[in-house]
């Protein structure tokens, strides 16, 4: 095989088990990487111990194996990279690009989640405070391989956002850009629930002098009852004995057209078919209705 410069990744959070929506995201990133002859890395985003479901990490790895996914290299855990996050955060803070915020939840009520900037110039001590990144009054835009042009005004639509919580936990936004860069990720393929996080990540990459990957956000899956599968609503954990039918359904949700003869094929065979025939231009742009009940 030709050496490819493509490096993709799947980055589950162990606050729950993998569900059909995560399968669709994992499958898209896997097929996109393998079709390009690239690597596919696995990163456990275990930044938030209080929210971690005991046993979820093992269950996620086991499910990926059962569904036939093979990752390259060692699993990376974000919990092992806290020193890196701390150092870069300190750098942003000392440069005045980030600042300490002592606002209580109550003080921030009524601002629709957009930080009103109370502590921007307060010069609070970093200890026992949340750390927020100062965002510019700028429109950010990028080209997504499926969603097309995406724009967001960081000041008006996002506001200064937290990169370390008051309890000392690092935010996803900071960790994800540091790790994507450190792991040499060229292509981020993930669920569209993260589309509106991307401009924050672009801004952080810019500040930290990191290279920017290409992005592809796969549509969210809508359950027959109208719920979107994503962070706030999860379908049941992926059952271990349904790998083939669910992989087939995930392929179809991604607009791929596996032939009828593949029904009943083993997971490995389905993935092999998917790698060979992968066509990212077929991925639908908007949420896809799951064909049937997910279990």
Q: Which residues bind Zn ion (CB under 5 A)?
A: 101, 103, 118-119
| Residue 56 C-beta: closest distance to ligand GLU, Å | 11
Options 19, 42, 45, 133; binder of ligand GLU; rule CB under 6 A: 45
Judged by beta carbon, residue 19 or residue 88, the one nearer ligand GLU is 19
Assigned token pair, 193: 């629930």
Residues 6 or more apart whose Cβ sits within 8 Å of residue 106:
none
What sign for the dihedral angle of Cα 243, 245, 248, 254? negative
Judged by beta carbon, residue 104 or residue 232, the one nearer Zn ion is 104
Stretch of residues binding ligand GLU (CB under 6 A), selected from 10-18, 93-101, 112-120, 216-224: 10-18
What mask, x for binding ligand GLU by CB under 6 A, covers residues 153 to 192?
A: -----------------------x-------------x--
Judged by beta carbon, residue 160 or residue 187, the one nearer ligand GLU is 187
Of 47, 6, 8, 34, give the one whose Cα is nearest residue 276. Answer: 34
Stretch of residues binding ligand GLU (CB under 6 A), selected from 8-16, 217-225, 236-244, 257-265: 8-16
Whether the Cβ atoms of residue 192 and residue 153 lie closer than 8 Å to each other: no
| Residue 12 C-beta: closest distance to ligand GLU, Å | 5
State the angle between helix axes of 82-94 and 198-208 in degrees (0 to 180), rounded to the nearest 10.
70
| Residue 181 C-beta: closest distance to ligand GLU, Å | 13
Partner in contact with 178, chosen from Zn ion, ligand GLU, none, beta carbon below 5 to 8 Å by kind = none
* Residues in contact with ligand GLU by the rule CB under 6 A: 11-13, 45, 176, 190, 194
């Amino acid at each position: 095989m030709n050496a490819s410069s493509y490096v993709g990744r799947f980055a589950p959070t162990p606050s729950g088990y993998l569900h059909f929506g995560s399968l669709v995201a994992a499958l898209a990133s896997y097929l996109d990487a393998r079709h390009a002859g690239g690597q596919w890395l696995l990163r456990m985003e275990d930044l938030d111990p209080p929210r971690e479901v005991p046993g979820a990490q093992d269950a996620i790895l086991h499910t990926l194996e059962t569904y036939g996914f093979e990752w390259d290299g060692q699993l990376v855990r974000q919990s092992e990279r806290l020193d890196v996050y701390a150092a870069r955060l300190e750098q942003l803070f000392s440069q005045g690009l980030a600042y300490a915020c002592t606002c209580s939840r109550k003080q921030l009520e009524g601002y629709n989640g957009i930080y009103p900037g109370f502590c921007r110039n307060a010069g609070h001590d970093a200890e026992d405070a949340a750390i927020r990144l100062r965002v510019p009054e700028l429109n950010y835009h990028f080209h997504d391989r499926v969603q097309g042009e995406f724009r967001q005004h960081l000041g008006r639509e996002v506001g200064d956002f937290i990169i370390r919580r008051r309890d000392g936990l690092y935010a996803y936004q900071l960790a994800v850009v540091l790790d994507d860069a450190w792991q040499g990720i060229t292509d981020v393929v993930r669920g569209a629930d993260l589309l509106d996080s991307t401009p924050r990540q672009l801004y952080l990459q810019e500040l930290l002098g990191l290279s920017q990957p290409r992005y592809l956000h796969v549509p969210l899956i809508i359950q027959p009852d109208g719920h979107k599968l994503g962070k706030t609503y999860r379908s049941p954990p992926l059952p271990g004995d349904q790998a083939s039918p669910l992989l087939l359904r995930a392929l179809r949700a991604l607009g791929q057209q596996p032939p009828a003869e593949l029904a009943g094929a083993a997971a490995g065979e389905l993935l092999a078919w998917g790698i060979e025939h992968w066509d990212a231009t077929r991925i639908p742009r908007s949420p896809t209705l799951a064909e049937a009940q997910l279990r």
